[in-house]
Structure 1
Amino acid sequence: MIYRLIHSLFLSGLLLSSLAFSQEPIGDNTIDLNSTKKTIKNQTGRELKVLAPTLSAEEIDPAVLNRLLQTIAHNPESLKTRFALDDNKLQDIFITLSNARTFINTNEMANVRVMCQAWNHSTASGEDRINEALNAYEKRNGFTKRFIANFYATVLSDIQYGLSEQSLLSFNTYMNDRRRRMANAGAVTTGIATQNVRSGAEAVTFHCGPAR
């Protein structure tokens, strides 16, 4: 009981610390399940670009857990059977993942601001200036990914703690299987391509202004 209380307080503190990454202001702890499920089912993603052959290590668990959220919204019965869960426990997982998804986003605009600050303050020119801006973007983007990964690690721990021994075994098997699949799948992202100067230069000049 004491561990559970400490763990819950830690998760609450991490949620509050994530306000800089928040998509919406925090309200009360209740959510409209029907509305949330309908929103998730009907969502259409933004136009995406494939930038890398695999996801980074920091991106895998958040991607797996967000896919799990989608599966709960679309096909809850299959997960109830697979994890040996009742309706209440599956709903608890859905609420936990929905709240995590609400509080956290990629904070791409902050990454772009850092990139443009480096671009505007650089004394270099040509490719050197572009590389400085892209390196600043990549550094800030790495910080964002690590923050999100740490946040979702806490969310995952919270979910696992509430499962029975049988359900935990099935859940961990599911997570490991989905991690392998995600690691081998193409990485789809809305971020800026920083792998080479040519592709990165277009993004830098688009967001930050023309080269001098």
Structure 2
Amino acid sequence: MAQQQRATETKEALINAAAVVFGRQGYRATTLRDITREAAVTQGALYFHFDSKQELAEEIIRRQHTMSSGAGASFLASTESGLSSIVRLSGELAAQVLTQPVVRAGLRLSTESADDLAGAAAAPYRDWIGACRILLERAAAVGETREGLDLDAAAELVISSFTGAQFVSAALTGSEDLLERLERMWPVLLEGFVRDPDHPVLSSTSDLIYQSADRVA
């Protein structure tokens, strides 16, 4: 039992260390030696749990998606405004980026390493586009969105815009201004979505973002 516990602890140490290093350096610049040094374990211990750098990166992407999907599930199950839910969900995901190394690394791996991690990187984006479309359907069903809005295109635009904001924020400020970028992004996007130009979501995006972010922080 003690040996099994040590093995579990070593595996978690490797995953956490890899998240820190991948998040800092990206996939291609990271070596297994970088990860074992960060985790303070031997390469033998690493190979006991993971066959390759790719396998370790794919595990981080899966964990990141599991963590983020947990946030998404609560909004999908709610009955609040679909548009408000999308904005609040973005705040919660942004807070995960800022506070959770696995989430930060998983998003960087998915964004920067599509050629190396094609299967693992693509699935989360498809899932998030699907989840966003469900929230937009909820908004359309009660007349929040303008007539004729292409929900597939709108869902893809939301996910692409969030990913772009996250990527640019990481590159320019180490993600420090991510919430501020979302504040600027949402009014521009939502003006193209809403039926009513005076929809309350347009004037409350900042509050919605920070309420969700504070819940995670």
The TM tier, using the shorter chain, reads under 0.3
Q: TM-score, normalised by structure 2?
A: 0.24
Larger helix proportion of the pair: 2
**TM-score after normalising by structure 1:** 0.25
Q: Which has the higher contact order (CA 8 A, sep 6+)?
A: 1
